[in-house]
A and B are shown apart, each in its own frame.
Chain A
Amino acid sequence: MLYEAEEVLGLIPQREPVVMVSRLIDASGNRCHTGLSVTADNYFIEDDGLMAETGLIEHIAQSASAFAGHRYRMQSLPAPIGYIGEVRKFHCYRRPAIGDELQTEIIFEAEAEGVTLMSATTSCNGEAVADTKMKIFVEPVR
């Protein structure tokens, strides 16, 4: 485990009530694994007790943000702000429930000129929950 709970907040610009990543589990090269513990007070929990699909997209985006923040920290630079530029080929197979422990693999497939192309797969107990590709715009820290 690299970062958990409060430590993750050092890697991302988001704050409560919209924090959607609980931990950065490991990171090497262009790949990392993150986790989200789905709690009852999660911002994206709907009336039926399940998380909205859009919560998964935010979790994936913040996972990428935490990975980028970790890499900047390794170079002693502050975490940049990233904006989602494009979501492609997003599939949701089921909506997460309260108590689920989500695990997400992020792969940065290409990076250039402040644009990162990435792919992500989110699972729970080995079962696929969602996958997507995303383009992230990274705003340089001034």
Chain B
Amino acid sequence: MLLKDKFFSIENTVISNDGVTYQIRLLSDCDCYRGHFPGKPVSPGVCNIEMIRECAELFTGKDLFIEEIKQCRLTAVSSPAICPSLDVAIKLIPASDNTAYEINASITDQARTYMSLKGIFRTKQ
């Protein structure tokens, strides 16, 4: 995985009926902050999307391809200083042929929602 244990680490896992919530920690020494942005570390929005994918892969035990993002809203700026601990909540509905999942995910803490995402993640061949 690209970002697990580099951009984020998993502290706890809570499994529910229709999905999972990973309690994660943002890692301030990730090298992405050297360039995003110099002297002003802000978590890249795409790294938050990638984190959702990796959490979905961990939960399903499958390699997943982001085939479609119907909508992904980035509603607040995140960084290890602003929000060191986050909940990555993912609900998954398997497609009828079992080769893809409809994904509903959010990244939140007690203060605010940082991201909400709806998409289709397909199992890699």
Contact = CB atoms under 8 A, between A and B. Distances in A.
Interface of A: 13-19, 43-44, 46, 52-55, 57-58, 61, 81, 83-92, 95, 132
A14 B36 contact: yes
B43 to A, nearest CB: 11
A54 B36 contact: no
Interface string B16-49: 0000000000000001101111100010111101
B49 A57 contact: yes
B50 to A, nearest CB: 4
Contacts of A19: 35
Contact of A83 (B45, B66, B71, B73): B45
Nearest to B38: A15
Contacts of B66: 53-54, 90, 92
A30 to B, nearest CB: 23
- Interface of A, secondary structure class, is mixed
A115 B44 CA distance: 18
Contacts of B49: 54, 57, 87
Contact of B32 (A17, A52, A61, A85): A17
A86 B115 CA distance: 9
Interface in B48-79: 49-50, 53, 65-74, 77
Contacts of A44: 2
